[in-house]
Amino acid sequence: MGVAPGGRGWAEGVGENAAPSPGPTLRMPPSPDHPPPATGCAVVVINWNGAEDTLACLRSLREAGDPCRVVVVDNGSTDGSVARIASQLAAWGVPCTPCTRAAPPSAPAGGAGEKGVAVWLLEAGENLGFAAGCNAGLRVAQALGCPFVAFLNNDTVVEPGALGRLVARLAAEPGCFATLPMITVMGSDRIWNCGGTIWRVGLRRYHLAGRPRDEGARRGEIRCSFFTGCCFVTRTAAFAARGGFSERFFFGEEDFELALWLRARGGHAVCLTSAVVQHKVSAAMGVASAAAADPRRARVAVHYLNRFIHMRLRLGRPLWALWCAAYLPYVALLLWRSGTLGAAALPGFVRRLLARASRMDGVTRADFEAVMAGRW
């Protein structure tokens, strides 16, 4: 999906006549001590051979006490994830409705189970990638009539009240595109990020990255122009109107593209630090790179190939050439100082990166698998 030129409000979507989705209005944000329920919110979780993480995430949603509809999209797992997830949900007494891309639910089916959580389990039948998998879940959220949709990585744990606070804060400000939690590193008292700031030239800075959790809690709210796909809540109709996530990249870059799209329209998001989600940070990419000969280099190659293609398409070739001249020395220094690539390997990496980024218009599943296998 391409990026439309800027200048219009974010809620106008991708069509000239698309209208903003106003959503309900609340006059006051929720009290941290009495968070409202996440009524009307669908939570989309992608699973690929990660039943253990997904079940831990679902357990946290069940125990958090926020009534919600959860859409688990299984991206063609081969480890028995679907059966394991369905069995555990049955043991918990949580209703689980199976559906497929060809036959999404036409209306809400069944009631909520214990603590108000119900699950729709969508079997994609193949590995769609993160963006396309999320978009499949988005279509289920639309079919269920949910006015709000949350996207949540499966390697996360949602703390009590977080989802309800995020939904209520979003509903309180119709001009806000999304709300996001303070995301902490699981097993640590450190913050991964509280969103961030993004600039037109493709640079970003995270808010409060690496800082103590208590410091973030004192901030209350932080206005953001960048947020990751790890966890955020938005309006279902508005997000569907812009086409959901860009599917140009099989894995990664979808949040970067979304943030630049939002920035061009003058939109914003709000990080609510009273809402906390814990994240394993690198687990999803770790699963994807498990078979790679050199997982660290493979992850780096995918990341920068996505970024360089994206910026070429966004800036056009003349400006992209200038961008590369300014950005490549920084990338090379970063890779060398981190020990990811030695000085002897850097020139070859840069040549391959530029050669492929100059002619590719996206990264398909086949491209991704080739890079992960070192065939690029």
Q: Minimal CA–CA distance to 259: which of 179, 197, 169?
A: 197
pLDDT of residue 88: 97
Instruction: Supply the pLDDT for residue 1.
Output: 36
Per-residue confidence (pLDDT) for residue 115, from 0 to 100: 59
Residue with token string 């493709």: 202
User: Using one digit for the tens of pLDDT, what is the confidence trace for 37-56?
Assistant: 556 899 999 999 999 999 99
Q: For the whole model, what pTM was predicted? A: 0.86
Three-state secondary structure of 47-97? ECCCHHHHHHHHHHHHHHCCCEEEEEEECCCCCCHHHHHHHHHHHHCCCEE
- Residues 262 and 256 sit within 8 Å (Cβ to Cβ): no
Give the pLDDT confidence score for residue 104 in this predicted structure: 73
* Predicted pLDDT at 65: 82
Domains of the chain, earliest start first:
37-286 (3.90.550.10), 289-372 (no CATH)
Are 67 and 116 contacting, i.e. CB atoms less than 8 angstroms apart? yes
- pLDDT at residue number 155: 97
pLDDT number for residue 112: 56
Low-confidence ranges of the chain (pLDDT < 70): 1-39, 106-115, 282-293
Neighbours of 330 (CB within 10 A): 10
- 65-99: per-residue pLDDT in tens? 888 999 999 999 999 999 999 999 999 999 999 99
